[in-house]
Structure 1
Amino acid sequence: MHTYEVFTHYERNHWKLSDVDFSAVRGDLVKPEYVAIAKSAVMGESNVIAAVHGFMNEFVDDYDFSAFAVVWGYQEVQHHYMFKAWLEAIGEGVDDAPVEAMRAPYDPGTTPSATLATNIISELTVNHIYRRVATAVEEPVLKDLLLKASRDEAGHAREFIHFCRERLAKHGEEVASVLETLYVYTSDKRIKHPVSVFKSNLTELADHETIDTAFELFLAEVADSEELEELQGKIRRVFGQLVDRDLSSNGKVRRALADVLG
């Protein structure tokens, strides 16, 4: 099984939270926006439990992917705890109530391939943002954690791409749902993430940082004028390779979808 290879690779090479020296956090270098980003990341990463639950429900007939979902979930929980630990190191508490509100599982996607496609977008987005935010952060421990998370998310994206490609090879009828997912997440000038789309309207989050808080800070404080276009372009290229089509613009995504449906 593919996930056996993934698991053994992670086991050999993955970092440990217990090896992070949180006593080395430089409080004098912490800025308010770092706190907001870390709190937003805690919320975004806490969604892992809902996602794993959803995967187990939707992929009940796929042991290999389900095993990957468990491995992936462990690493995403690690991200949740690392940002929480950094916040606690600077004396910032984390309210459990908003985290608890994220627990409900996702409903199944329009197709299993669409669910995998959604997670490809999720991983590519946070990989890009964590990496770029790390370049602007001066506090060394947070910078290192952001880079660790960014590398993890790149690996996760690679595996979701693998499983989506495998799924589409067996279920070509699901290509349209993948194109629809791409269009939903890249058709306007906003950063969209599944947690934002499906969870940001929870009443428990009304007075708390959400993943959108981090996106807004990223666009305001870190991103250059071409940043969103660069991110969306990368996502479209990945999807173009998945379905063997030119998806380099929204118009081409629409035309590809029309061809598939027509």
Structure 2
Amino acid sequence: MLYIDLFKSLERARWNMETDIPWDTFDASKLTDEQALTIKMNAITEWAALPATEMFLRDFVHDSDFSAFMSIWFYEEQKHALVLMEYLRRFKPELAPTEEELHAIRFPFDPAPPMETLMLHFCGEVRLTQWYKRASEWHTEPVIKRIYETISRDEGRHGGAYLQYMKRALKQGGPGVAAAFAKIGFLMASSQRSDKALHPTNLHVNEALFPQDTIQSRLPNPEWLEHWLDEQICFDETWENKVVGGILRNLSSLLGQPFENVRELNKYRKQMLAAA
């Protein structure tokens, strides 16, 4: 079981919210209302680990190992929401998310193929790692800078854990699994072909609830994410290339074939579909 070793490794890396966050270095002069509002929105989106975990446990009912790992992932992702809310509770209480705002993003996701879902969330972790690195650079207040650095490292470790389950699935499933990974990797790395950077936060996941079937659509301000990326943290082409490069490098290693760009990945996807 992968869960046993993953538990040990992630336990060793776990940080303490009371002692590892330098709360006493807070500098009110370096926190603007604009910045504080983005912290609120990120806290709410991190709360989306709740419906995502419910989805995983439903769609991976056949896999007790991965389902057990969800106990770690869910705990650490909810901790991200909690530390952001704690920051607001201490320093900007009027902007702390309400229980109603948090509950609004808890809704059922439609069932989806498990391997595609696994790859989707791996790519999401790669992207969040870079989003939060950039957020830490954008912020000027020292405590929130440390918080974003801390949760960025968590997202990177989560991506590594997903990758281990992907390696196992590839050994068990062959070309069909490889095709699923290549398909989602191609879509998630094709940001230049889309009008937005794809992430589980802004994907449609419940057909019956359209158009309120994305996490983003249920935020207090559904337009916030694009504004945060484009106008605030300025997640530009240089940063986007880090995301795409991370996806392509990991898939190259996983699938045993070099992918220099998304076109090569798409070509491989078609080959695996034919083989499957």
**TM (normalized to structure 2)?**
0.85
Q: Give the equivalent residue in structure 1 for 2:229.
A: 218
Match for 1:202 among 209, 212, 217? 212
- Secondary structure at the aligned position of 1:86 is classed as helix
Q: Give the equivalent residue in structure 2 for 1:99.
A: 102
Change (3 A) 1:198 1:39: farther
Check the 8 A contact 2:125/2:159 in 1, yes or no. yes
Q: How many Å apart are 1:76 and its aligned residue?
A: 0.3
Change (3 A) 1:245 1:201: farther
Q: In the TM superposition, what whole-angstrom CA distance separates every residue of 1:57-86 from its partner, at most 9, and x where no partner exists?
A: 111122211111111100000001111111
The aligned length equals: 260
Q: Percent identity?
A: 21
Change (3 A) 1:10 1:157: same
Check the 8 A contact 1:33/1:217 in 2, yes or no. no
Check the 8 A contact 2:44/2:97 in 1, yes or no. no
Q: Give the equivalent residue in structure 1 for 2:199.
A: 193
- Secondary structure at the aligned position of 1:245 is classed as coil
Change (3 A) 1:120 1:21: same
Q: Does 1:180 align with 2:186?
A: no
Match for 2:112 among 97, 109, 119? 109
Q: How many Å apart are 1:21 and its aligned residue?
A: 5.2
Q: How many Å apart are 1:43 and its aligned residue?
A: 2.0
Q: How many Å apart are 1:195 and its aligned residue?
A: 1.6
Distance 2:245 2:87 in 1: 32
Q: How many Å apart are 1:23 and its aligned residue?
A: 5.5
Check the 8 A contact 2:40/2:96 in 1, yes or no. no
Larger deviation: 250-259 or 192-201?
192-201
What amino acid maps onto 2:199 in structure 1? Answer: H
Q: Give the equivalent residue in structure 2 for 1:45.
A: 46
Match for 1:142 among 129, 141, 144? 144
Q: How many Å apart are 1:56 and its aligned residue?
A: 0.9
**TM (normalized to structure 1)?**
0.89
Change (3 A) 1:141 1:55: same
- Secondary structure at the aligned position of 2:146 is classed as helix
Q: Give the equivalent residue in structure 1 for 2:264.
A: 252
Check the 8 A contact 2:104/2:218 in 1, yes or no. no
Unmatched tracts of structure 2, length 5 or more: none
Check the 8 A contact 1:55/1:66 in 2, yes or no. yes
What amino acid maps onto 1:195 in structure 2? Answer: T
What amino acid maps onto 1:139 in structure 2? Answer: E
Larger deviation: 59-68 or 6-15?
6-15
Check the 8 A contact 1:3/1:64 in 2, yes or no. yes
